[in-house]
Amino acid sequence: MKKMLLSFLLFIGCITLNFAQSEDSTLVNIATIEKSLTYQTGKIEFPNQNAVLNVPKGFKFLNAEQAQYVMKDLWGNPADPTLLGALVPETKGVLGDDSWLFTINYDGMGFVKDDDAKDMDYDDLLKDIQEDIKIQNEDRVKQGYASAELVGWASKPFYDENKKVLHWAKEFKFSDSEINTLNYDLRVLGRKGVFILSAVAPIEQLQEVKANMNNVISSIQFNEGNTYFDFDSSTDSVAAWTIGGLVAGKVLAKVGFFAILAKFGKFIVIGLIAAFAGLKKFVFGKKDQEVTRPQLEETTLGEENETPDRF
């Protein structure tokens, strides 16, 4: 009996040691990844888009290559060749449970007329978008992605006529996640196209994202002669979509359901935390304090995600 007890205790000791080593190794890997990223501040030139980004207070900038690495390899979204970069809160990394960022894209769709902004019924528009996403779910599942449900507006669409900026937020629920996802979208209108900024975050970060919105809205500046007010009807092309089309995501139809961006990629969960908690309960016959998920689960980089996210 003593030998059996000794063997069992040694077995538990091995599990504890392996768990500790695995957790330490994961934290080291996370720290290494975070340190590998090079952030910028100040003025970022976008010469092909005739604009600059003045990195707003409270943020740091990742260039296109590094932003692609985060969104695709770390967070599991499909590759986006149009990605120009990302804004990350200066106090956060990209691998924390509460991490979030703004992706930055540009669509040279032409001059977007805003005549319909005041007349839009955004409640009716929400219903249309929800139906579109239900239809897209069939393709999502066929391609191995989780189905998505648009829960509703996390922040109702608002168009700033003076700044020519449109912003709104949507809350998504994915079938394989207990945590709902926030997509907070900005559209900065210019003479020949639109900058697309999308905050990708857990829904719990909504208030934090909203608190930084004003700074982000003012961060994109078109170069002289390329602002919305420089439009020349005799030479410039007009976009096929108006304000309602931007909110509905019709201009993103070419990427289909991949327009929904998700924060979490296809993570390989360590799992030993929950397993060890259950083992302790079995061995010692008492209920332990609930063990929470680690700050970040170990990942296999480069794998495709089952939960994509931007609309």
What's the full length of the chain, in residues? 311
User: What pLDDT, on a 0 to 100 scale, did the predictor assign at position 250?
Assistant: 60
User: What pLDDT, on a 0 to 100 scale, did the predictor assign at position 176?
Assistant: 80
Spatial separation of the C-alpha atoms in residues 38 and 147, rounded to whole Å? 34
- How far is residue 100 from each of residues 40, 94, 122, 201, 230, measured CA to CA in Å? 17, 7, 26, 5, 34
- Tell me, rounded to whole angstroms, the distance of Cα 239 from its chain centroid: 26
In the block, tokens 């189905």 appear at 147
Q: Which two tokens stand for residue 181?
A: 């996802």
User: What pLDDT, on a 0 to 100 scale, did the predictor assign at position 23?
Assistant: 46
Spatial separation of the C-alpha atoms in residues 93 and 33, rounded to whole Å? 10
Instruction: Examine residue 99 and state whether it is found in any structural domain, yes or no.
Output: yes
In the block, tokens 């996390």 appear at 154
Number of domains in the chain: 1
Residues 6+ apart with CB under 8 A from 220: 51, 52, 53, 188, 195, 197
User: What pLDDT, on a 0 to 100 scale, did the predictor assign at position 159?
Assistant: 96
Instruction: Examine residue 184 and state whether it is found in any structural domain, yes or no.
Output: yes
User: What pLDDT, on a 0 to 100 scale, did the predictor assign at position 60?
Assistant: 98
Spatial separation of the C-alpha atoms in residues 261 and 292, rounded to whole Å? 26
Q: Which two tokens stand for residue 152?
A: 């509703």
Instruction: Examine residue 243 and state whether it is found in any structural domain, yes or no.
Output: yes
User: What pLDDT, on a 0 to 100 scale, did the predictor assign at position 212?
Assistant: 93
Q: Which of 311, 212, 208, 213 is nearest to 258 (CA)?
A: 311
Instruction: Examine residue 151 and state whether it is found in any structural domain, yes or no.
Output: yes
Instruction: Examine residue 21 and state whether it is found in any structural domain, yes or no.
Output: no
Determine the 3-state secondary structure of 183 from DSSP.
Answer: strand
Instruction: Examine residue 100 and state whether it is found in any structural domain, yes or no.
Output: yes
Instruction: Examine residue 11 and state whether it is found in any structural domain, yes or no.
Output: no
Spatial separation of the C-alpha atoms in residues 210 and 190, rounded to whole Å? 23
Spatial separation of the C-alpha atoms in residues 61 and 142, rounded to whole Å? 35
Is the Cα torsion angle 182, 187, 188, 193 positive or negative in sign?
positive
- How far is residue 211 from each of residues 57, 183, 207, measured CA to CA in Å? 12, 15, 6
Instruction: Examine residue 79 and state whether it is found in any structural domain, yes or no.
Output: yes
Give the domain range for residue 219: 35-259
Residues 6+ apart with CB under 8 A from 194: 106, 107, 109, 112, 187, 188, 239, 246
The residue ranges of the chain whose pLDDT is under 50 are 8-9, 12, 15-28, 252-257, 265-311
Domain containing residue 136: CATH number? 3.40.1000
